[in-house]
Amino acid sequence: MEHKQALPFMEFVAPGVLELHPYEPGMPVEELQRRLGVSDAIKLASNENPLGPSPKVKQALADAALGNLALYPDDGGFRLKAKLAALHGVGTDSITLCNGSNTLLDLVARVFLGAGRAAMYSKYAFAVYPLVTLAQTAEAIVVPALPADSDMPYGDDLEAMARMLRPDLAVIFIASPNNPTGTWVEPAAFERFMVQVPGHTVVVLDEAYHHFQEPALRIDSAGLMRRYPNLMVTRTFSKVHGIAALRVGYGVAHPALTDLLHRVRQPFNNGSLALLAAELALDDTAHVARCVSLNTQERARVGAALQDMGLRVLPSQANFVTVDFGRPSAPIHQALLEQGVIVRPMGSYHLPHFLRVSIGTEAENDRFLASLKRALQA
Ligand SMILES: Cc1ncc(COP(=O)(O)O)c(C=O)c1O
């Protein structure tokens, strides 16, 4: 903005920050109501969980909210960390808790990146990777993605990444499954890749959508972490566990790497209610299974219905599908908004012909499909 350029403190803004634009989130339901007066909108724009959290989480939060809110939370997150350590077969000194896995990506960047260092990610990678990289004024190595007509269109090209490794490369960010494409990295290809990455380069494997992936397609990240101390995994409670509102994510990494992350982590970075909710969400494996099963079924159904409309759907192992309209998708996005259906335009991801649609409940998906048919006929 012009007026900001003129202010004297702009002189000291980190150069990378000047290249950034604020993250564009999916539109909240209330905002659509304010803008267009639509009162019964559904949001399929941020890959949230349509079933919400386990009922046990809701009950516990209602009880806990009446308790003592004056004390700071447990900074060590003792109980949650113990459960996560057991789940991943590591010690608690390998776990970092954060208020959302985005914050963890930021911690990695703050520890390892800066002027004179580089981070690498694929062209259609998650938007927060460039954000945390440029915020540290590190160089971004943006690797061309797999071709649009390949088996994994717009997906991460690990062979290209391996060819572009450099001595100053401090961090590589890879999401599998990836957002916004839904594509994934084959486990064998990832193992071949890890062999080539030098030990001084930290590989962050972002498993935000892990649960939605068929087990046979999942990378054995636990096994690989035992062999490669420079491999770190991030997970979130915002997706399958349905508590995006509470902001809980975590990292699993070698204790030495975890120690570095703790040095820059803000104290008390998870609220008490968030910690409690995450513990209970983790315990309710039946609820997790229900959410996964709904997603698997509906992802296939929505994908097939979109293909029946003559649209191209990218292969997805996540809780969303990304759809190619073969023409600018902005008017279709607008027509959906006017019918109270919020999906995500992909212009900021260099995919202006695409929309990304989260998988909702059966009723929400039906409403999306019916609204889309109307939008395409108009
Ligand atoms: C690939 C990927 N990583 C991380 C996140 C961030 O999740 P959190 O809510 O834990 O910050 C998202 C959220 O959409 C995501 O798509």
- We report the CATH number of the domain holding residue 185 as 3.40.640.10
pLDDT surpasses 80 at 144? yes
Half-sphere exposure of 269 (CA within 13 A, CB side): 20
Burial tier of 164 (Cβ tally within 10 Å: 0-12, 13-18, 19+)? middle
Task: State in Å: Cα 245 to ligand 1 middle.
Answer: 12
First to last CA, the chain: 37
In this structure, are residues 216 and 241 in contact, taking their beta carbons and an 8 Å threshold? no
Is the C-beta atom of 238 inside 6 A of ligand 1?
A: yes
The reply to whether 47 and 80 lie within a common domain is no
The reply to whether 145 and 19 lie within a common domain is no
Atom of ligand 1 nearest to the CA of 177: 1
Q: Which of 226, 162, 232 is nearest to 198 (CA)?
A: 162
The reply to whether 125 and 237 lie within a common domain is yes
* Residue 47 covered by a domain: yes
The reply to whether 185 and 90 lie within a common domain is yes
Half-sphere exposure of 346 (CA within 13 A, CB side): 25
Chosen domain end from 281, 315, 341: 281
* Residue 96 covered by a domain: yes
* Residue 2 covered by a domain: no
Chosen domain end from 232, 249, 281: 281
The reply to whether 153 and 265 lie within a common domain is yes
What pLDDT, in 10s, does the model give residues 257-312? 999 999 999 999 999 999 999 999 999 999 999 999 999 999 999 999 999 999 99
The reply to whether 168 and 181 lie within a common domain is yes
Is the C-beta atom of 261 inside 6 A of ligand 1?
A: no
Handedness of CA 260, 262, 265, 270 (dihedral sign): positive
The reply to whether 157 and 227 lie within a common domain is yes
Task: State in Å: Cα 356 to ligand 1 middle.
Answer: 15
The reply to whether 274 and 291 lie within a common domain is no
What pLDDT, in 10s, does the model give residues 26-42? 899 999 999 999 989 99
Q: How confident is the model at residue 10 (pLDDT cuts 50, 70, 90)?
A: confident
Higher pLDDT, 361 or 3: 361
Residue that the structure tokens 């980190």 belong to: 14
Q: Show the DSSP H helices in the chain as ranges.
A: 2-6, 15-18, 29-36, 55-64, 78-88, 101-112, 128-135, 158-163, 187-196, 221-227, 255-264, 272-283, 285-308, 330-338, 362-377
Burial tier of 293 (Cβ tally within 10 Å: 0-12, 13-18, 19+)? exposed
The reply to whether 274 and 296 lie within a common domain is no
Is the C-beta atom of 278 inside 6 A of ligand 1?
A: no
Task: State in Å: Cα 339 to ligand 1 middle.
Answer: 27
Task: State in Å: Cα 175 to ligand 1 middle.
Answer: 9
Which two three-digit tokens encode residue 376? Answer: 């395409």
Is the C-beta atom of 322 inside 6 A of ligand 1?
A: no
Q: Please list the helix, strand and coil fractions of the chain in percent, rounded to the nearest 5, in that order.
A: 45, 15, 40
Q: What is the mean pLDDT of the chain?
A: 95
Atom of ligand 1 nearest to the CA of 103: 11
Three-class SS state of 172: strand
The reply to whether 175 and 148 lie within a common domain is yes
Q: Which domain holds residue 306?
A: 8-52+286-377
Q: How many domains does the chain have?
A: 2
Predicted local distance difference test score (pLDDT) of residue 230? 98
Q: Which residues contact 72 (CB under 8 A, 6 or more apart)?
A: 268
Is the C-beta atom of 316 inside 6 A of ligand 1?
A: no
The reply to whether 41 and 93 lie within a common domain is no
The reply to whether 175 and 292 lie within a common domain is no
Atom of ligand 1 nearest to the CA of 238: 9
Predicted local distance difference test score (pLDDT) of residue 365? 98
* Residue 20 covered by a domain: yes
* Residue 364 covered by a domain: yes
* Residue 225 covered by a domain: yes
* Residue 312 covered by a domain: yes
Chosen domain end from 248, 266, 281: 281
In this structure, are residues 181 and 320 in contact, taking their beta carbons and an 8 Å threshold? no
Mean pLDDT of 162-187: 98
In this structure, are residues 130 and 121 in contact, taking their beta carbons and an 8 Å threshold? yes
Is the C-beta atom of 183 inside 6 A of ligand 1?
A: no
Whole-structure pTM value = 0.95
* Residue 65 covered by a domain: no
What CATH number did the domain enclosing 47 receive?
A: 3.90.1150.10
